[in-house]
């Protein structure tokens, strides 16, 4: 994926509202990620400048919480469950099917920026195992064939 210039003016309202509030760093980071889809380095530097919190401390908070990302993600974020129920129901076969279909591994994004893959500890949908979420949609009782079909349909819909 090509790097796009980050429009830091999009953070003005967030920093104006939450910047002066002690203990608001996580809220600022959540809003920042909602705006950009991840936490760009330039945004972290601006947050540091405006709040007086060291960039290293901001990074420490950002890397501690799994909700934060430091790289852009694709239009479709695939979260594949690797919890116990999914594991015993062959989630590794689903992972291999996704890798085969998209040519990416855990933590990567397709070159066209359409799909990102993230293996997660648990999605809380054990009765549907193996399961994956793509953005806000949940897909359960997966087989490798079913997973590939879902990805093909999403790719076709995005064209």
Banded pLDDT at 72 (limits 50, 70, 90): confident
Q: Which two tokens stand for residue 156?
A: 């076709």
Mean pLDDT of the chain: 94
As a whole number of angstroms, the distance between CA 124 and CA 72 comes to 25
- pLDDT for 3 beyond 80: no
Q: For 4-51, how does the pLDDT look when each residue is reduced to its tens digit (9 = 90+)?
A: 689 999 999 999 999 999 999 999 999 999 999 899 999 999 999 999
Query: Domains (ranges, CATH) in the chain?
Result: 8-64 (1.10.10), 76-158 (3.40.30.10)
């Amino acid at each position: 994926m090509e790097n796009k210039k980050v429009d830091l003016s999009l953070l003005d309202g967030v920093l104006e509202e939450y910047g002066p509030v002690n203990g608001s760093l996580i809220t600022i980071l959540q809003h920042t990620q909602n705006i950009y889809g991840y936490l760009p380095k330039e945004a972290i530097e601006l947050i540091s400048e405006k709040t007086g919190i060291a960039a290293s401390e901001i990074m420490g908070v950002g890397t501690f919480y799994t909700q934060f990302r430091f790289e852009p993600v694709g239009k479709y974020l695939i979260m594949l469950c690797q919890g116990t129920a999914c594991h015993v129901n062959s989630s590794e076969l689903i992972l291999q099917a996704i890798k085969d279909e998209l040519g990416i591994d855990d933590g990567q994004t397709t070159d066209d920026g359409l799909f990102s893959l993230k293996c997660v500890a648990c999605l809380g949908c054990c009765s549907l195992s193996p399961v994956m979420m793509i953005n806000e949609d949940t897909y359960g009782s997966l087989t490798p064939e079913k997973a590939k079909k879902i990805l093909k349909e999403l790719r076709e819909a995005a064209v």
